[in-house]
């Protein structure tokens, strides 16, 4: 293993352009702190409600539960002290009550002891390009609403729109993978982009 002194000697011997390239590889990428857009999720109990059109549910019947699971894991991993009502419990409610989306979100949250409610209205959920069915590209688009469960029939305290596309580094989409892999990667990225609105985080400078 090369010592720090030996590495330094090698770097000093490199021409300017090669030295810059070597440093770019060896040194950690510079980062900046991005402040939370909505820093009021700490120590809260969150109820996640994913709403999807019937067409989406026909193609992906478990999407509400699955997306809730991804988001729940991100919340409990990154938002200080936050907990989440079991996605399985919410899934059972949604299957039992076909009119759940017409109810006041705050009342649903209070029913399960939540203090915050996040409604995710899916506007697009796909794993393939519309004009190239053999080309995989995941997309999850949604409108987000957050409610305070202590105040029934009130307006949301936070709103946002998110449009996640995977893979991000391939404008032509991806080949040689399967539907499950695309869904997993896209939902992970969506959850990361969504939950990142609720806590301060360090991101690489570009």
Task: Express each pLDDT in 145-175 by its tens digit.
Answer: 999 999 999 999 999 999 999 987 765 555 5
Predicted TM-score (pTM) of this structure = 0.82
Query: Around Cβ 35, how many Cβ atoms within 10 Å?
Result: 8
As a whole number of Å, the end-to-end CA separation of the chain is: 31
pLDDT tens-place string over residues 65-112: 999 999 999 999 999 999 999 999 999 999 999 999 999 999 999 999
Is the per-residue pLDDT at 11 higher than 60? Answer: no
β-bridge mates for residue 128, sequence order: 136
Q: How confident is the model at residue 16 (pLDDT cuts 50, 70, 90)?
A: low
Pairing of the two strands 201-204 and 31-34: antiparallel
Q: How confident is the model at residue 128 (pLDDT cuts 50, 70, 90)?
A: confident
174 DSSP 8-state letter:
B
Distance of CA 17 to the CA centre of its chain: 38
Domains of the chain, residue spans: 30-204
Task: Tell me what pLDDT residue 25 has.
Answer: 53
**What architecture is the 30-204 domain classified under in CATH?**
3-Layer(aba) Sandwich (3.40)
């Amino acid at each position: 293993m090369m010592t720090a002194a030996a590495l330094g000697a090698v770097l000093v011997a490199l021409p300017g352009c090669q030295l810059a390239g070597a440093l770019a590889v060896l040194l950690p990428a510079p980062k900046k702190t991005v402040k939370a857009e909505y820093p009021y999720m700490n120590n809260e109990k969150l109820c996640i409600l994913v709403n999807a059109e019937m067409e989406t549910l026909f193609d992906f019947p478990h999407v509400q539960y699955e997306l809730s699971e991804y988001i729940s894991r991100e919340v409990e991993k990154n938002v200080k002290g936050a907990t989440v009502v079991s996605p399985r419990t919410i899934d059972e409610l949604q299957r039992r009550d076909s009119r759940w989306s017409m109810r006041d979100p705050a009342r649903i949250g209070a029913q399960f002891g939540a203090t915050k409610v996040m409604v995710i209205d899916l506007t697009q959920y796909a794993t393939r390009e519309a004009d190239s069915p053999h080309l995989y590209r995941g997309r999850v688009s949604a409108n987000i609403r957050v409610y305070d469960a202590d105040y029934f029939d009130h307006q949301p305290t936070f709103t946002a729109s998110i449009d996640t596309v995977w893979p991000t580094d391939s404008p032509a989409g991806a080949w040689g993978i399967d539907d499950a892999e695309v869904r997993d990667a896209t939902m992970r990225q969506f959850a990361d982009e969504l939950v990142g609105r609720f806590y301060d985080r360090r991101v690489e400078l570009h």
